[in-house]
Amino acid sequence: MNAYNIAVIPGDGIGKEVVPAALRCLEAVADIHGGLKWNWTFFPWNCEYYLQHGEMMPEDGISTLKQFDQIFLGAVGMPELVPDHISLWGLLVRIRRECEQSINVRPAKLLRGLDSPLRNPEPFDFVVVRENSEGEYSQAGGAIHSGEDELVVQNAIFTRRQTAKAMKYAFELAAERRQSVVSATKSNGIVHSMPFWDRVFEEVGAAYPDAAARSVHIDALCAYLVMRPQQFDVIVASNLFGDILTDLGGAIMGSIGIAPAANLNVERKYPSMFEPVHGSAPDIAGKGIANPIGQIWTAKQMLDFMGYPELGELVLGAIEDSLSAGVKTGDLGGTATTEEAASDILARIYQRGK
């Protein structure tokens, strides 16, 4: 029996609704496998915890998390209660950094049974590899003047080590896929960091002669993803560009509520963290109508990373079976509740697992 210790942080808003749905699916695949056991440990770290304790997690929160095999997280943020920069930097971003989850892998593909908002799209299937530890997400900078002359500076930080690492990951991934890597750039407008990003991309790409590599400006890339997403295989992007591209990826699939993500510590020195692309969706939280697919597909990414790709395929297949049968939540134009959608996927996991 392989037993895994998983830290579960449901977080805020719909995170608390979709995480239980995904855990049921993970329990189902463990049942089917027979030799796999999950030990869940729940951590109530969220904005309510912050209001009670004045911090998003205890002092020893990170060292506690580091003892687990993986982290499974819903979403963080209740901007009405706690400013986002406090809740996110106190929990989500902090875990990504301190557990050195420097690669964020975010697939987008046209699922069977789903209509994209794009008109008659050709089937598309691409993965955004997002640099997850630096770039535009930096704490360097601050207020220079106040009052009428108020002026703040935000410095982007790009290191060769992390930039090259994300790019190498992208080329290695492309070698298992369709051997194409597009780098999201803006070297026509950003003077220092993006020309550097392009140079590192060329240098890293030179070691992968079998891959087609090209740079595309981020503004044009957004347009291409709407007009012809089928042309893309692997896209490597900085932290902020990758963030934006992956909500777009979710949208062209049909909803950001289905988009999965994995924050990887590729060295496996510390746990990786699996949390979908979407946030806590305060506008629909508490109504029981959130789409659980983003969180369940994220569970598939955890299974893949942990060496159970056949179970991961089973989960994604069940998601597609369910969508093909017309079981859809409101964001996809249907009427299913979170519970109905999750139960349907669960039943189809068992059907496929027979």
| Minimum CB–partner distance for residue 191 and ligand IPM (Å) | 24
By CB under 6 A, tell whether 95 contacts ligand NAD. no
| Minimum CB–partner distance for residue 271 and ligand NAD (Å) | 16
By CB under 6 A, tell whether 184 contacts ligand IPM. no
The one among 134, 304, 321, 331 contacting ligand NAD by CB under 6 A: 331
Residues linked to residue 70 through DSSP beta bridges, in sequence order? 6, 272
Q: Which is nearer to ligand NAD, 205 or 250 (CB)?
A: 250
CA pair distance 36, 20, nearest whole angstrom? 19
| Minimum CB–partner distance for residue 279 and Mn ion (Å) | 7
Using the contact rule CB under 6 A, the part of the chain among 56-64, 189-197, 232-240, 277-285 near ligand NAD is 277-285
Q: Using CB under 6 A as the criterion, what x/- string covers residues 263-292 for binding ligand IPM?
A: --------------x-x-------------
> What is the DSSP pairing of strand 36-42 with strand 262-264?
unpaired
CA neighbor of 249 nearest in space, from 273, 266, 224? 224
Sign, CA torsion 293/80/99/16: negative
Q: Is 122 helix (H, G, I), strand (E, B) or coil?
A: coil
| Minimum CB–partner distance for residue 204 and ligand IPM (Å) | 23
CA pair distance 134, 345, nearest whole angstrom? 36
Q: Which is nearer to ligand IPM, 36 or 65 (CB)?
A: 65
Query: What letter would DSSP give residue 280?
Result: -
By CB under 6 A, tell whether 114 contacts ligand IPM. no
Residues near 24 by beta carbon (within 8 Å), at least 6 away in sequence: 342, 346
How many other C-beta atoms lie within 10 A of the C-beta of residue 125?
A: 15
By CB under 6 A, tell whether 257 contacts ligand NAD. yes
The one among 20, 113, 121, 282 contacting ligand NAD by CB under 6 A: 282
CA neighbor of 210 nearest in space, from 233, 242, 237, 228? 233
37 Rama class: left (phi>0) / alpha (psi -120 to 50) / beta: beta
By CB under 6 A, tell whether 233 contacts ligand IPM. no
| Minimum CB–partner distance for residue 249 and ligand IPM (Å) | 11
Using the contact rule CB under 5 A, the part of the chain among 95-103, 157-165, 208-216, 236-244 near Mn ion is 236-244
Sign, CA torsion 115/125/303/279: negative
Q: Using CB under 6 A as the criterion, what x/- string covers residues 285-324 for binding ligand IPM?
A: ----------------------------------------
As a whole number of Å, the end-to-end CA separation of the chain is 20
CA pair distance 145, 153, nearest whole angstrom? 10
- Residue 138 CB-density burial (10 A; 0-12 exposed, 13-18 middle, 19+ buried): middle
| Minimum CB–partner distance for residue 247 and Mn ion (Å) | 6
By CB under 6 A, tell whether 243 contacts ligand IPM. yes
Q: Is 179 helix (H, G, I), strand (E, B) or coil?
A: coil
Q: What are phi and psi of 154, to 5 degrees?
A: -125, 115
By CB under 6 A, tell whether 281 contacts ligand NAD. yes
By CB under 6 A, tell whether 93 contacts ligand IPM. yes
Using the contact rule CB under 6 A, the part of the chain among 144-152, 193-201, 205-213, 271-279 near ligand NAD is 271-279
The percent helix, strand, coil of the chain (3-state, each to 5) is 45, 20, 35
By CB under 6 A, tell whether 14 contacts ligand NAD. yes
Q: Which is nearer to ligand IPM, 61 or 279 (CB)?
A: 279
The binding site for ligand NAD (CB under 6 A) comprises: 14, 18, 75-77, 79, 84, 88, 92, 256-257, 275, 278-284, 290-291, 294, 331
The binding site for Mn ion (CB under 5 A) comprises: 243
